[in-house]
Amino acid sequence: MNVYDFDKTIYKNDSSIDFYKFNLKRNPKLIKYWPKQIKAATAYKMGKISKTEMKSVFYEYFQDIDNIDEAVSLFWREHRHNIQDWYLEQKDPSDVIVSASPEFFLKPICDDLDVTLIGSVVDKNTGMNLRENCYGAEKVVRFEELYSLDDIDEFYSDSYSDDPLAQYAEKAFMVRGNDIKPW
């Protein structure tokens, strides 16, 4: 099987940031979360809080989205075009996407692509991470819960933070837009 990161790998941008911007345009009052989000991002950069804690603070804005399932559905209708063409040309139903983005958010697009998803487990109503953020070494933990690490033929990512999972692939690739090079 082939395993892929999602954001900035098969999706052109960071989908969580795009979703935030999408919701901010629809509801400018979400700006009220900025002070707390900036404080959390700063605390994370300074090593005072974990990535999981920072993301939980960032996602608190989910509380003010009237119908989050509808917002997610509309977002993907408008943003599906950001899936990289190179991926669409090679995708296979055995593919597994392993992403730090929330599972509930990526599930519709992964269902549309007919691929399996492993993502961060986030409460869509509160924004709270219910498990460790699916990032770095945690991707290995989460993948191993469902599959054998020996089953990874190829791995694709835009970031060396995914090196823990890339190490198990027969071949690993670094992705920069449409430029794909050996890890």
pLDDT band at 125 (very low <50, low <70, confident <90, very high): very high
Residues 125-147: what's their mean pLDDT?
Answer: 97
Distances in Å between the Cα of 157 and the Cα atoms of 12, 16, 114 are 12, 16, 19
3-state helix, strand, coil in the chain (%, to 5): 50, 20, 30
Q: In the predicted model, what is the mean pLDDT of the chain?
A: 97
pLDDT band at 86 (very low <50, low <70, confident <90, very high): very high
Q: Produce one character per residue of 101-124: b if its CB has 16 or more CB atoms within 10 Å, e if not.
A: bbbbbbebbbeebebbbbbbbbeb
